[in-house]
Structure 1
Amino acid sequence: MSKLFFIFLLTLTSSVFLFAREIKVKSPDGKIEVRIHQNKQLTYDVLSGQNALLQGSVIDLELENGNSLSAGLAIRAVNRSEVRTEIVPVVPEKRRIIPDRYNQVEIRFRQPYSLLFRVYDDGVAYRIVTHFPDSITIKNEAAIFNFSLTKMIWYPQVQPRTDADVFHTSFEEHYTIKPLDSIPAESLIFTPLLIETSTSAKVLLTESDLVDYPGMFVKNNAGKGFTGEFAPYPLEEKMVGGEFKQWAVTKRAGYIARTKGSRSLPWRVIIISSADTDLPSNDLVYRLGSPTPLTDVSWIQPGKSTEEWIIGSNLYNIPFQAGINTDTYKYYIDFARKFGFERILLDAGWSDAMDLFKITPTLNMDELAAYAKSQGIKLSMWTLAATLDRQLEPALGQFNRWGVDFIMTDFIDRDDQKMVNFHHRVAEACARHKIMLMFHGSFKPAGFSRTWPHALTREGVLGSEYNIWSHRAAPPHNVTLPFIRMVAGPMDYEPGLLQNGTKETFRPIGNYVMSQGTRCHQLAMFVVYDSPMQFFSGNPSTGLQEPEFMELLGNIPTVWDETRILEGKIGEYIITLRKKGTDWYIGSLTNWTGRSLTIKLDFLDEGNYELNAAEDGVNASRYAADYQLIKKKVKKGDTLEIKLAPGGGFGGRIRNVD
């Protein structure tokens, strides 16, 4: 939804532009400039102030029939526009109103192509538009980003699998930090990735509005930057995997997409920030997503859910055998109702993974659905993507009968054109059935949540489940995510583990899963991480013994009127401030370095407020589950001193009590 304040459109079609060699466009504040060059190739530069961040970057599109954008670059028209709008998102992931201000240039070529460049105060985006009357087969897209002034690159690298080609990945990796010239040429990298320059600028590379087209990977371009890599179209597939099967491509075509001849390709997005703290609150990717086609959005209800798979339903102090059964899920329903969660998730195991109508015998779905309804709690269901694809309409009908208003679908692990289309097809079907959803084992959202606002969150992140079997979900990684992955859209990390370990005491133990870092580190994630549907992965049996802590956690919203980053540095620490109504929420994370931080409460309005928070206890550096609750009166102008243990955190609410 957009509210248009002012659009100024100036169309220049004079013949002088047919021979233009350079076209310039600046951001509204004049600080960022793009220079587009028409030579033998179509190239562009991006400048921030006096610094050239990209130089000689190349744009081209090659069709299977030999036609290409660069074959005869005669310009027919150059159209310029200034756009000053506001977007009112259906689901406010970061803020209730999003300013959308940019200057745009549209270059129309004599051949049936156009090129759009938008220059914002916080970045640059371009997309190719085709104008063919019939369908086209795209052999390749040349998206070459030649960066200047590079210092270090933060990037996630695909780890090759033994049962599938390199374009199969769950998009769950650490961020490796290396100089550009030391990244191996064969490394396949998925986005977003971050370029740290020798100036103060940070540049984040990603994409948006990914529709009927493969996602963009990149490779090192001879130490000059990165070149886009796209998964070729899948021609043949086979089913692979053990308990959770998925389709793997065994033969690919010599092209990346077959698509409509008249269409817009995805946006290539270059986000530019002068400070680390600008990145976590940036929503440029969302702004570039296509507006939603949905007219009735009243049924879209963000919130919080329980999640039992990570801890293996390992409950205790109960009079029944825990597991995938009716009693266990009734216990979860009671827990959710007690602490303000709107729903529970039935994760993998409630049915045969390959047949959503073959329900586990120990589970009575009709009884459970009736009990959930009586308690005012909704049910959410896990599905295997290959199974959901095959049983889509009847399965969604069954979910409607059970009162299910949210589903997860899992084990996709691809972003070729066919799988991108799967995401849109499932989202459209779920919208017809008024069911919200999220994708696991999937690529970053890339503007998807603006088009399909009921797709509330997305995995594509190395998250809490990795504590089951590895040391990978550690605090330095956790405090990197807001600055890189989260910029591309909401992420389902699934925080809230209530067993916690220090760097020395942590062990990956299945069915007794602990987090790395403190209890308050887990709490703070509910404020720091964008996810309109947050999943609490902790053990309810532990939570019931700590009601004050759980009430604090349960009262944290998942959508926001405003987001600010008070302080932060990539991979080191962050202080996030969120507003909902008249209340403010603070979340802070640190890596394995303990810190003392001062937060000035200048953001408060005049009046009386109460702080209700949890901070690391005095022994949290040795016993990571140690915390202390804080409850005190505060007002505008006060300062809040917080101490973060190694791997620590702070989470709290400042409530207006007038």
Structure 2
Amino acid sequence: MLKYVLTLLYLFTFVWAAAREIKLQSPDGKIEVRIQNEQNLTYSIYIQKTLLLDRSVIDLELDNGTRLSADLSIASVKRNQIRTTITSPVPEKRRIIPDHYTQVEIRFRQPYSLIFRVYDDGVAYRMVTHFPDSIVIKNELALFNFAKAGKAWCPLVKPRQDADQFHTAFEEDYTIKPLDSLATSHLMFTPVLIQAPPKINVLITEADLVDFPGMFLTGTSANSLRSSFAPYPLEEKMVGGEFPQKIVTKRAGYIARTIGTRSLPWRVIALSTDDKSLPSNDMVYRLASPSKVQDLSWIKPGKSTEEWIIGSNLYNVPFKAGINTATYKYYIDFAKRFGFERILLDAGWSDNTDLFQINPEINMEEIASYAKKNSIGLSLWTLASTLDRQLEPALEQFTKWGVDFIMTDFMDRDDQKTVNFHHRIAEACARHKIMLMFHGSFKPAGFNRTWPHALTREGVLGSEYNKWSRRATPTHNVTLPFIRMVSGPMDYEPGLLQNATEASFRPIDQYVMSLGTRCHQMAMFVVYDSPMQFFSGNPSTGMQEPELMELLGSIPTVWDETSILDGKVGEFIITNRKKDNTFYLGAMTNWETRTFSISLDFLGEGEYQLTAAEDGMNADRYAADYKLTTRTVRKGDTLEINLVPGGGFLGKFLKVSN
């Protein structure tokens, strides 16, 4: 919500030949953008007077050959300085978001405008078209031309045998490569992080992705990255297997068909001179379109169980565990006991291709009645192609069962048609007051501001990879907050209770362990942004450790404030959150042993009870070893944290006296 707006506005007209460079500075004066028009429309970015991006090209080409950059002349330039705030209804980082920036809007005599915004923590631009009729966009060029060589954290797309390069689950780890070693054959989905000399972090992503394909990047064999977009799908076919999905068999020679007068997505360049500023950067949220949902009272963030990763492999129970009524009632009992708000019925509760063909081992009415009796919410997994085909009758049935949250899965694309699918599903769920998340999907790109009931999203290599690989390493886990998480909340599904060292880990289905310690998994509930957190651990193990589960159950999923006390990409992170008068601390490390002395100056006045889950004495050899401690602390005290390789720390500071 707007609290106040200070707008300094002036409008003037001139010919482009008289002013070939327009300058714009951030509110604090440390970042400067210079927009040029010579042979191409370009811009340069300086941070603290150091040239960072040099004459990076902006262009748009229509299918009739018309280009943005052709013979541009300016009609008007409008400058603004904005100081306002946004109140987030589902605050994954903070409730009150300062939105301070300087803006220039350049209106050309041709039917285009260009808008630049400069914040203290980054730069963004978008193009606006002003055609009376619909247009076909052949391509958009976004060239990010770095002044000096740097290194890049690249989520490189691995080709599929049954589909083209633009089919991906957006679940890759990060390869670190010199920027000038990246060629056009290196396709990366965004965000991509570049560390440029002298140690300036540049994170490239996008925001307000509506009716347009998502942006990939490729290298150029120079110090540049270049945009790439999936062409529009003309023909599709269903491919079989357990989870059928549509793949594109024929693509058009253009990337989008769209209305003629519209704003294109923001191209976002988040900037920082230290690593720890990245995870708390919320530029993407600020740039997204405001909520399309008026009544937000039914949106309820929280924690849920999730059984697919461990295969419902319960033990010490008086029934045969599996996808059946007794198992889900056990999950409801677990959720109720430890303060979780809901459970998820993952894949298998129905036929994957027909949401009305219920698994005969499941009595949905009995489960729904038992959940309602215990005040536990129900969530359901769906296959995207099935949900799309059965959308309205399925949502009506879900409402009858009391289901108020769904997951839909296996899109694995972000072409224009798939992006529009996401918005269509969100609109339908909003009408039925059903929350949702997408799996097998691209990053949120601000979707969660426009559709606040879309609480989280996958597009991340998370816990499920422990079932079949060694890829979800502690190093990967402490890379995610600095890159993927900057583009929006992520459904990692933490909380595995079988844990292993680097030497003892084995990917074993049905007995799924994590790489790293128990407390590394617990810390994720504070470190990772996700207003709906899914606990993937085995409830049977959790039942034997009630004090740890009670601590976990008391951790919120939305926050009044967030700060990163310290961190380094791929090495470690220490996150401090606040909800009401209680503070929470999460720390994670890679495979290095680390010790931290943390000042508790972030606390308010008075005494706090610190309840902490810490790596145990033998956690370096037996990764599930942890200790729970309780002590009284005050503002100004120092907290010593010792992390073993792959270790973590979770702390809750509850105020007990003034």
Bin the TM-score by the shorter chain. Answer: over 0.9
- Rounded to whole Å, the distance in 2 between the matches of 1:17 and 1:168 is 42
Q: Encode CA deviations 1:509-551: one digit per residue, 9 max, x unaligned.
A: 0000000000000000000000000000000000000000000
- Rounded to whole Å, the distance in 2 between the matches of 1:200 and 1:143 is 23
- Rounded to whole Å, the distance in 2 between the matches of 1:545 and 1:289 is 44
Query: 1:397, CA displacement in angstroms?
Result: 0.4
1:328 aligns with 2:327: yes
Q: Encode CA deviations 1:62-115: one digit per residue, 9 max, x unaligned.
A: 001121111111111111011111000111110010000000000111110000
1:484 aligns with 2:518: no
- Secondary structure of the residue aligned to 1:498 is coil
1:530 aligns with 2:504: no
Query: 1:482, CA displacement in angstroms?
Result: 0.4
- Rounded to whole Å, the distance in 2 between the matches of 1:61 and 1:171 is 26
- Secondary structure of the residue aligned to 2:385 is helix
1:11 aligns with 2:11: yes
- Rounded to whole Å, the distance in 1 between the matches of 2:482 and 2:237 is 37
Q: Could you tell me which residue of structure 2 aligns to residue 2 of structure 1?
A: 2
Q: Could you tell me which residue of structure 2 aligns to residue 59 of structure 1?
A: 58
Amino acid paired to 1:147? F
- Rounded to whole Å, the distance in 2 between the matches of 1:606 and 1:223 is 54
- Secondary structure of the residue aligned to 1:189 is strand
Q: Could you tell me which residue of structure 2 aligns to residue 606 of structure 1?
A: 605
Q: Is the 8 A contact 2:122 2:268 kept in 1?
A: yes
1:650 aligns with 2:656: no
1:356 aligns with 2:347: no
Q: Encode CA deviations 1:273-297: one digit per residue, 9 max, x unaligned.
A: 0100000000001100000121100
Amino acid paired to 1:136? I
- Secondary structure of the residue aligned to 1:334 is helix
Q: Is the 8 A contact 1:104 1:118 kept in 2?
A: yes
Q: Could you tell me which residue of structure 1 aligns to residue 96 of structure 2?
A: 97
Q: Is the 8 A contact 1:498 1:519 kept in 2?
A: yes
- Rounded to whole Å, the distance in 1 between the matches of 2:556 and 2:148 is 40
1:235 aligns with 2:226: no
- Rounded to whole Å, the distance in 2 between the matches of 1:434 and 1:394 is 14
- Secondary structure of the residue aligned to 1:348 is coil
Q: Could you tell me which residue of structure 2 aligns to residue 109 of structure 1?
A: 108
Q: Could you tell me which residue of structure 2 aligns to residue 513 of structure 1?
A: 512
Query: 1:172, CA displacement in angstroms?
Result: 0.3
Amino acid paired to 1:9? L
Q: Could you tell me which residue of structure 1 aligns to residue 267 of structure 2?
A: 268
1:187 aligns with 2:186: yes
Query: 1:222, CA displacement in angstroms?
Result: 3.0
Q: Is the 8 A contact 2:429 2:436 kept in 1?
A: yes
Query: 1:17, CA displacement in angstroms?
Result: 5.3
- Rounded to whole Å, the distance in 1 between the matches of 2:399 and 2:235 is 34
- Rounded to whole Å, the distance in 2 between the matches of 1:540 and 1:293 is 37
Q: Encode CA deviations 1:536-587: one digit per residue, 9 max, x unaligned.
A: 0000000000000000111110000000111111000010000000000000
Query: 1:16, CA displacement in angstroms?
Result: 5.1
- Rounded to whole Å, the distance in 2 between the matches of 1:22 and 1:48 is 18
- Secondary structure of the residue aligned to 2:4 is strand
Query: 1:157, CA displacement in angstroms?
Result: 0.5
Q: Could you tell me which residue of structure 1 aligns to residue 459 of structure 2?
A: 460
For 1:35-46, list aligned pairs within 5 A: 35-46=34-45
- Rounded to whole Å, the distance in 2 between the matches of 1:23 and 1:490 is 35
Q: Could you tell me which residue of structure 1 aligns to residue 134 of structure 2?
A: 135
- Rounded to whole Å, the distance in 1 between the matches of 2:147 and 2:318 is 64
Q: Encode CA deviations 1:166-187: one digit per residue, 9 max, x unaligned.
A: 0000000010001012223301
Q: Could you tell me which residue of structure 1 aligns to residue 125 of structure 2?
A: 126
Q: Could you tell me which residue of structure 2 aligns to residue 73 of structure 1?
A: 72
Q: Encode CA deviations 1:609-638: one digit per residue, 9 max, x unaligned.
A: 100010000000000000000100000111
Q: Could you tell me which residue of structure 1 aligns to residue 209 of structure 2?
A: 210
Query: 1:224, CA displacement in angstroms?
Result: 2.5
Amino acid paired to 1:11? L
Amino acid paired to 1:10? Y
- Secondary structure of the residue aligned to 2:361 is coil
Query: 1:468, CA displacement in angstroms?
Result: 0.2
Query: 1:155, CA displacement in angstroms?
Result: 1.0
Q: Is the 8 A contact 2:75 2:109 kept in 1?
A: yes
Query: 1:389, CA displacement in angstroms?
Result: 0.5
Query: 1:18, CA displacement in angstroms?
Result: 6.2
Q: Could you tell me which residue of structure 1 aligns to residue 390 of structure 2?
A: 391
- Rounded to whole Å, the distance in 2 between the matches of 1:410 and 1:274 is 37
Q: Is the 8 A contact 2:15 2:75 kept in 1?
A: no
Q: Could you tell me which residue of structure 2 aligns to residue 309 of structure 1?
A: 308
- Secondary structure of the residue aligned to 1:552 is helix
- Secondary structure of the residue aligned to 2:5 is strand
- Rounded to whole Å, the distance in 2 between the matches of 1:577 and 1:190 is 29
Q: Could you tell me which residue of structure 1 aligns to residue 615 of structure 2?
A: 616
- Rounded to whole Å, the distance in 2 between the matches of 1:224 and 1:609 is 51
Query: 1:119, CA displacement in angstroms?
Result: 0.4
Q: Which moved more, 1:524-533 or 1:46-55?
A: 46-55
- Rounded to whole Å, the distance in 2 between the matches of 1:40 and 1:160 is 36
Q: Is the 8 A contact 1:17 1:78 kept in 2?
A: no
- Rounded to whole Å, the distance in 2 between the matches of 1:321 and 1:81 is 65
- Secondary structure of the residue aligned to 2:390 is helix
Amino acid paired to 1:566? L
1:582 aligns with 2:578: no
- Rounded to whole Å, the distance in 2 between the matches of 1:651 and 1:2 is 35
Q: Any stretches of 5+ residues in structure 1 without a counterpart?
A: none
Amino acid paired to 1:280? P
Query: 1:151, CA displacement in angstroms?
Result: 2.1
Q: Could you tell me which residue of structure 1 aligns to residue 380 of structure 2?
A: 381
Q: Could you tell me which residue of structure 2 aligns to residue 224 of structure 1?
A: 223
1:280 aligns with 2:241: no
- Rounded to whole Å, the distance in 1 between the matches of 2:306 and 2:17 is 60
Q: Is the 8 A contact 1:18 1:77 kept in 2?
A: no
What fraction of aligned residue pairs are identical, expressed as a percent? 70
Query: 1:20, CA displacement in angstroms?
Result: 1.9
Q: Could you tell me which residue of structure 2 aligns to residue 198 of structure 1?
A: 197
Amino acid paired to 1:421? N
Q: Encode CA deviations 1:343-399: one digit per residue, 9 max, x unaligned.
A: 000000000000000000000001110110000001000000000000011111011
Q: Is the 8 A contact 2:611 2:628 kept in 1?
A: yes
Amino acid paired to 1:406? F
Q: Taking structure 1 as the reference length, what is the TM-score of the superposition?
A: 0.99
- Rounded to whole Å, the distance in 2 between the matches of 1:561 and 1:626 is 32
- Rounded to whole Å, the distance in 2 between the matches of 1:241 and 1:51 is 53
- Rounded to whole Å, the distance in 1 between the matches of 2:132 and 2:390 is 35
Q: Taking structure 2 as the reference length, what is the TM-score of the superposition?
A: 0.99
- Rounded to whole Å, the distance in 1 between the matches of 2:402 and 2:651 is 33
- Rounded to whole Å, the distance in 2 between the matches of 1:576 and 1:239 is 43
Q: Is the 8 A contact 1:149 1:199 kept in 2?
A: no
Q: Is the 8 A contact 1:150 1:195 kept in 2?
A: no
- Rounded to whole Å, the distance in 2 between the matches of 1:115 and 1:151 is 28
- Rounded to whole Å, the distance in 2 between the matches of 1:614 and 1:452 is 35
Q: Could you tell me which residue of structure 2 aligns to residue 637 of structure 1?
A: 636
Structure 1 residue ranges (4+ consecutive) displaced by more than 4 angstroms after TM superposition:
none
Amino acid paired to 1:545? Q
Q: Which moved more, 1:63-72 or 1:359-368?
A: 63-72
Q: Is the 8 A contact 1:78 1:108 kept in 2?
A: yes
- Rounded to whole Å, the distance in 2 between the matches of 1:91 and 1:272 is 25
- Secondary structure of the residue aligned to 2:227 is strand
Amino acid paired to 2:396? G
Q: Which moved more, 1:197-206 or 1:494-503?
A: 197-206
Query: 1:241, CA displacement in angstroms?
Result: 3.6
Query: 1:50, CA displacement in angstroms?
Result: 1.7
Amino acid paired to 2:361? T
- Rounded to whole Å, the distance in 1 between the matches of 2:240 and 2:119 is 44
Amino acid paired to 2:9? L
Q: Could you tell me which residue of structure 2 aligns to residue 419 of structure 1?
A: 418
- Rounded to whole Å, the distance in 1 between the matches of 2:16 and 2:251 is 41
Aligned residues: 657
Q: Which moved more, 1:531-540 or 1:176-185?
A: 176-185
Q: Could you tell me which residue of structure 2 aligns to residue 34 of structure 1?
A: 33
